[in-house]
Structure 1
Amino acid sequence: MNQREVGGRFEEQAAAYLQEQGIQILERNFRCRIGEIDLVAKEGEYFLFVEVKYRGSSRFGRPEEAVNPRKQKKICQVAQAYLQRHGLPEETYCRFDVVAVDGRGQLTYFRNAFGGI
Structure 2
Amino acid sequence: MLGWLRKKSEIKTEELPLRRYTPQAARQRDGARAEMLAKAYLIEQGLTLVDANVACTRGEIDLVMKDGRTLVFVEVRWRKTAAYGGAVASITPSKLKKLLTACEVFFQHYPVWRSSPCRVDVVALQGSLDQAQIEWLKNVTG
Unaligned runs of 5+ in 1: none
Q: Which has the larger radius of gyration?
A: 2
Matched, 1:45 2:69: yes
Structure having the higher strand fraction is 1
From 31, 53, 56, give the equivalent of 2:80: 56
Higher mean alpha-carbon deviation, 4-13 vs 59-68, is at 59-68
Task: State how far apart, in whole Å, the 1-side matches of 2:117 and 2:93 are.
Answer: 21
2:6 equivalent in structure 1: none
2:101 equivalent in structure 1: 77
* 1:33-59 deviations in Å (ceiling 9; x for gaps): 222110001111211000000011111
Matched, 1:99 2:123: yes
Task: State how far apart, in whole Å, the 2-side matches of 1:11 and 1:98 are.
Answer: 11
Unaligned runs of 5+ in 2: 1-24
Q: TM-score, normalised by structure 1?
A: 0.90
From 8, 32, 40, give the equivalent of 2:56: 32
1:92 Cα deviation from its structure 2 partner: 3.1
Task: State how far apart, in whole Å, the 2-side matches of 1:8 and 1:32 are.
Answer: 18
State the number of aligned residues: 115
Task: State how far apart, in whole Å, the 1-side matches of 2:141 and 2:87 are.
Answer: 15
Q: TM-score, normalised by structure 2?
A: 0.75
3-state SS of 1:112 partner: coil
1:90 Cα deviation from its structure 2 partner: 4.6
Matched, 1:13 2:13: no
3-state SS of 1:60 partner: helix
Task: State how far apart, in whole Å, the 1-side matches of 2:116 and 2:91 are.
Answer: 23
Identity of aligned residues (%): 36
